[in-house]
Structure 1
């Protein structure tokens, strides 16, 4: 895990008078925005074993992280749809839905829309971002995206009255937005040269 203090050399050279708690706050907020928009931080969570007559389960995320989105799900290794609660009837938690899948309203738990056999293993891949109490981000994300997150933090800090500099804030914002745009493509393509292809659908 890379702590917020690991960002200081790149950040505080531009804002040497910035209090460290303020720097940490700006870095955390920048990391949250960057990772929530790009969805670059993805983890397969430990599989949950289904218990008879139980349809709601916790999403056991790493310490210091919070779920942005459930990206995909498998049951005993086979894909299962991740559904939106907006497309289900209001009492889906009591009644079985027409489509088998999982749904989450709070990004802390998920609900099986139909009962599964006891002992089934439900695994979820989620995209994550730092929680409000997080102390940093994983080392691999720091190594690849530290400069991008620093740009987002600089944008925020240069809007604080004590460090107000509109030109530098907007310049950092432009760098941050460009990084988000390019890294979103990286998240979609993965770390290979192949391009994911979407199957065409005709109405």
Structure 2
């Protein structure tokens, strides 16, 4: 099930309390930057979707204005594919049979081995692009649980901007340290995101 999305502008009050004279577009831009860093570092925003594949290597069909950080799980006909390294996949023509392994050689793309045209259920962690005015939303669960963390990260970076009346390097260092510490904490404990994947089952044809 897709996450319920809310506008990142909902975090503006939590940012502007630190930098009250900051222009709204500048604040939103830094919220987006902080969100991208937080989501990339923690991989807590996860979505599962079904994709029909027509080639052994294909572009992941992730929601608009998002970027896939990591592929966590791929299933075919109810069985989990094994994660592999590209170097471990046999060279040459890909056999035409149900896939048993997957690997990610390029950002935003996925490869399977062997290959046959089929539907796959794919679980990925997502982030928002750092650039682009259209990335305006975040999952409600992320805002509810970690909105203050993202807001502090954004405010900290804003306080480093020279020539502003809200520049405050000391407070910036404090807020950024808290922001980075939370990313490290969630990453270290292996945050599992919105939905926890079931235990892996090896395909019966292996």
Separation of aligned partners in 1, 2:11 and 2:53: 42
**2:122 alignment counterpart:** 124
Q: Does 1:159 align with 2:163?
A: no
**1:19 alignment counterpart:** 23
When the two chains are superposed, the root-mean-square deviation of aligned CA atoms in Å is 2.6
After superposition, residues 136-155 of structure 1 pair within 5 angstroms as 136-155=137-156
TM-score normalised per structure 1: 0.79
TM-score normalised per structure 2: 0.78
**2:181 alignment counterpart:** 178
Change (3 A) 1:190 1:59: closer
**What SS is found at the alignment partner of 2:127?**
strand
Do the aligned partners of 1:59 and 1:107 also contact (CA within 8 Å) in 2?
no
Change (3 A) 1:189 1:34: closer
TM-fit CA distance, 1:136: 2.0
Separation of aligned partners in 2, 1:42 and 1:127: 4
**What SS is found at the alignment partner of 1:187?**
coil
Change (3 A) 1:81 1:62: same
TM-fit CA distance, 1:188: 4.2
TM-fit CA distance, 1:88: 4.0
Do the aligned partners of 1:31 and 1:130 also contact (CA within 8 Å) in 2?
yes
Change (3 A) 1:3 1:190: closer
Gaps of 5+ in 2: 200-206
TM-fit CA distance, 1:100: 4.0
* Count of equivalent residues: 184
Do the aligned partners of 2:44 and 2:193 also contact (CA within 8 Å) in 1?
no
TM-fit CA distance, 1:49: 3.1
Separation of aligned partners in 2, 1:36 and 1:179: 13
**What SS is found at the alignment partner of 1:105?**
coil
TM-fit CA distance, 1:115: 2.0
